[in-house]
Amino acid sequence: MLTSIRQRAIGSYVLLFGIFILLTLFHRWGLVNLLTVLLGSFWATVFLAWLTARRLITPVEQITSAAQEMAGGVLDTEIRVQGEHELDELAWSINYMARQLRKNLFLITEERNRARAILNSMADGVIALDKNGRVILINPVVESIFDIKEECWIGTELIKVIRNHELEQLFIRALQDMQPVLNNELQVLTPEPRLFRVQISPLKGAQHKKMGVVGLLTDVTERRKLEQMRTEFAANVSHELRTPLTSINGFVETLLDGAMEQPHVAKNFLEIIHTEGKRLANLIDDLLKLSRLEDRRTILHKQPVDLADIIHNTIKMFEGLAQDKNIELTEVIPSDLPPVPGDFGFLSQVIVNLVDNAIKYTLTGGKVNVEVTFNQQSITVTVSDTGIGISEESLPRVFERFYRVDKARSREMGGTGLGLSISKHIVEAHGGKIKATSSQEGSTFYFTLPLD
Amino acid sequence: MSTRQSFDKALADLQQDVLRMASVVEKLIYNAVKSLATQDPILAGEVIEGDDLVDEQRFQIEDKIIKIIATQQPMAKDLRILITGIRIIISLERMADHSVDIARVTMCLVEEKLIKPLVSITAMAKLAQQMVRDGLDAYVHNDPDKAREMCEADDEVDHIYHQTYKHLVSFMKRDPDTIGQATYLLFVARFLERIADHATNIGEAVIFQATGEWKELN
């Protein structure tokens, strides 16, 4: 049995040569004429050629088409060839190559998926640029920070994807020097103003080949805000404590210097000292109350509370003050208002606080309205005024301790600067929510308490 | 690189330069209004200085455009892209000037207590900034529909402007001591209204770039 292609080819030639010799001999002996010799040789050649083609070309074609499929990405086809030894080997080699490719591809995909999963679940933004400054990679955090809607950012310039000149400058600097670049406060304006810490490092390949840069963006808005709040809190507490103390000290000194001898002056001074002392006590009370509420050390005495009652009382309490400023103080309370589980004392304090603020910050001739609405789950109390309003920057901060929209004005009007902060903690301790909105026409504060 | 290729690259570079300039201007508008709201003279100073960068960017871009027109003699759409570029940078430069005007008001009011929190002025600034951003989005994507959509926000800016006007006038009537500051704030509202108008000009330029037609949008 001949199996190799070379042996088969030699065999075919020998066979053909034999037939040719035989036919020539037959002709010489006069057994056949010249035409038969020619025709016989011709047909013998055609037959052998056909035989070779069938045994050789068909498997090659099979291998070719399978290889093409593999090139197209279908790696699980196996080539099955029967017959020639060399072709068998070729087919086996190709099959082996496909198997190896399949294995490597799986490993690479796995690796890539892992890298992608890490990038996607990072809390920080990642931006990578190639050495020409074109985007290679942006993770979803960056997409949401800059509100990127484009799906195809690969290969585009950074400024087209993220329209922030400063950020681009940082990246350009890192790309030029191939040195790490750090910026602690990059301001990003849209969609919301935020602050970022940007850290850019060069990407170096083998033999320190310049490959590009990768930048890490960390949101530091909250941290900066907390730092600021802490500094402000310390400054504010000392200021609020010192103001009454200074005036008490001043008047006591004047009294000691001789004012004591004049009884009517002394009485006047002592009254002032008394008021300032009370203010100091109030402030300290508020601070203690707030710290207890913050620590959740305060125990609420929950019982069914009729909010209508609290609101009536509050409005009665402020009627005089409202009349002095010519402010129209109104209430809208549904008659079938259900009682809400809560602490009567604390809830009264919230409502008194909100109405007090509303009257304070409404100019003469304005309106203050207290309205209650309810549904099956909750009760909402809304206190709206036609006052001076609160700017957008201040709005999220009004519930912070000692935050004052306008420092000078608020202190003139008295108050400790803790009212809204305490209210917020009380409402939250009841499982509710408090919010403020403001527009040109005035501010609205509302809080919601759950009914069950 | 063939002539056409280098020309295409020049056009792409131009677009990026415009985006860079827009990003700087956007920040100027934001900081100008912030400096006023927080009465921060240092920030106001930064805004006034920042305008120099915008002017420089404007002249550089203009130079580039003139060079392209002189050397390449662009036609049809290519020419429209260049004209649009010039229109946009002029609008951006005017916006930066108005931001400087606002920062100057900050400087004048630094010693005074604000008569009211700047609710409507910050709202106007936010809208105007968004308009600039959307206008540039439309420019990058060459999208006339988006440009038209963005110009609708101008009505809202005008509305807030008129409200602010009435509000400030009522302040002045009630208390003549506020006239000085209220007039300044009225100027600021006016500057912001102009900034929004310039943003609609960007929208108009984008529509011209895409369609070849000039349409008045405000």
pLDDT on residue B93: 92
Whether residue A389 lies within 8 A of chain B, CB to CB, comes out as yes
Inter-residue contact A4 to A86 (CB < 8 Å): yes
Q: What is the DSSP letter of A300?
A: P
pLDDT on residue B100: 92
Asked if residue A68 belongs to a domain, the reply is: yes
Rounded distance between C-alpha atoms, residue A243 and residue A305, angstroms: 38
Asked if residue A416 belongs to a domain, the reply is: yes
Asked if residue A113 belongs to a domain, the reply is: no
Rounded distance between C-alpha atoms, residue A70 and residue A62, angstroms: 12
Alpha-carbon distance A121 to nearest alpha carbon in chain B (angstroms)? 28
> Are residues A148 and A212 located together in one domain of the fold?
yes
Mean of pLDDT values over B145-165: 86
Chain A residues with CB-CB distance to B26 below 8 A: 163, 189-190
Chain A residues with CB-CB distance to B140 below 8 A: 160
Backbone dihedral angles phi then psi of residue A114, each to the nearest 5 degrees: -65, -45
> Are residues A353 and A407 located together in one domain of the fold?
yes
Question: pLDDT-based confidence at B191, cuts 50/70/90?
Answer: very high
Nearest to A406 by CA among B168, B39, B108, B164: B39
> Are residues A174 and A251 located together in one domain of the fold?
no
What CATH number did the domain enclosing A136 receive?
Answer: 3.30.450.20
> Are residues A284 and A338 located together in one domain of the fold?
no
Rounded distance between C-alpha atoms, residue B194 and residue B120, angstroms: 15
Q: Which amino acid is at A403?
A: Y
Asked if residue A320 belongs to a domain, the reply is: yes
Of B27, B116, B140, the CB nearest to A189: B27
Whether residue B11 lies within 8 A of chain A, CB to CB, comes out as no
> Are residues A308 and A444 located together in one domain of the fold?
yes
Rounded distance between C-alpha atoms, residue A250 and residue A245, angstroms: 8
CA atoms within 13 A on the CB side of A142: 23
> Are residues A48 and A185 located together in one domain of the fold?
no
Given A256, A273, A295, the domain boundary residue is: A295
> Are residues A333 and A441 located together in one domain of the fold?
yes
Under an 8 A CB cutoff, do A440 and B163 touch?
A: yes
What CATH number did the domain enclosing A314 receive?
Answer: 3.30.565.10
Under an 8 A CB cutoff, do B16 and A157 touch?
A: yes
pLDDT on residue A411: 56
Asked if residue A318 belongs to a domain, the reply is: yes
Whether residue B107 lies within 8 A of chain A, CB to CB, comes out as no
- What percent of chain B stands above pLDDT 70? 98
pLDDT on residue A147: 76
Under an 8 A CB cutoff, do A389 and B116 touch?
A: yes
Q: What is the DSSP letter of A260?
A: G
CA angle A334, A339, A345 (to 5 degrees): 110
For residue B121, what is the nearest residue in chain A, using CA coordinates?
A: A391
Whether residue B37 lies within 8 A of chain A, CB to CB, comes out as yes
Q: Tell me which residue range forms the domain holding A332.
A: 303-450
Asked if residue A117 belongs to a domain, the reply is: no
Task: Write out chain A's pLDDT in tens, 452 residues.
Answer: 445 677 777 888 888 888 888 888 888 888 888 888 888 888 988 988 888 777 777 778 888 888 888 888 777 777 776 666 777 788 888 888 888 888 898 999 999 889 888 888 888 888 888 888 888 888 888 888 777 766 667 778 888 888 888 888 888 888 888 888 887 788 887 667 888 888 888 888 777 788 888 888 888 888 888 888 788 778 878 877 888 888 888 888 888 888 788 888 888 888 888 888 888 888 888 888 888 877 777 777 888 888 888 888 888 888 888 888 888 888 888 888 888 888 888 888 888 888 888 888 888 888 888 888 888 888 888 998 888 888 777 787 888 877 776 665 555 566 677 888 888 888 888 888 898 888 877 889 988 888 87
Rounded distance between C-alpha atoms, residue A139 and residue B11, angstroms: 29
Nearest to A396 by CA among A220, A221, A234: A221
pLDDT on residue A2: 46
- What's the total number of domains in chain A? 4
Inter-residue contact B4 to B40 (CB < 8 Å): no
Alpha-carbon distance A393 to nearest alpha carbon in chain B (angstroms)? 9
Asked if residue A112 belongs to a domain, the reply is: no
> What is residue A429's three-state secondary structure?
helix
Tell whether the model's pLDDT for residue B130 goes beyond 50.
yes
Mutation test of the interface with chain B: which of A132, A148, A149, A159, choosing the one with the most B Cβ atoms within 10 A? A159
Under an 8 A CB cutoff, do A406 and B15 touch?
A: no
Given A197, A219, A241, the domain boundary residue is: A219
pLDDT on residue A139: 83
Chain A residues with CB-CB distance to B178 below 8 A: none
Inter-residue contact B138 to B150 (CB < 8 Å): yes
**ipTM score for this prediction:** 0.79
> Are residues A380 and A345 located together in one domain of the fold?
yes
Length of chain B: 218
User: Side by side, which strands form the sheet with A378-385?
Assistant: A328-332, A367-374, A378-385, A442-450, A433-439
Whether residue A390 lies within 8 A of chain B, CB to CB, comes out as yes
Q: Which domains, ranges and CATH numbers included, belong to chain B? A: 3-211 (1.20.58.220)
Under an 8 A CB cutoff, do B117 and A187 touch?
A: no
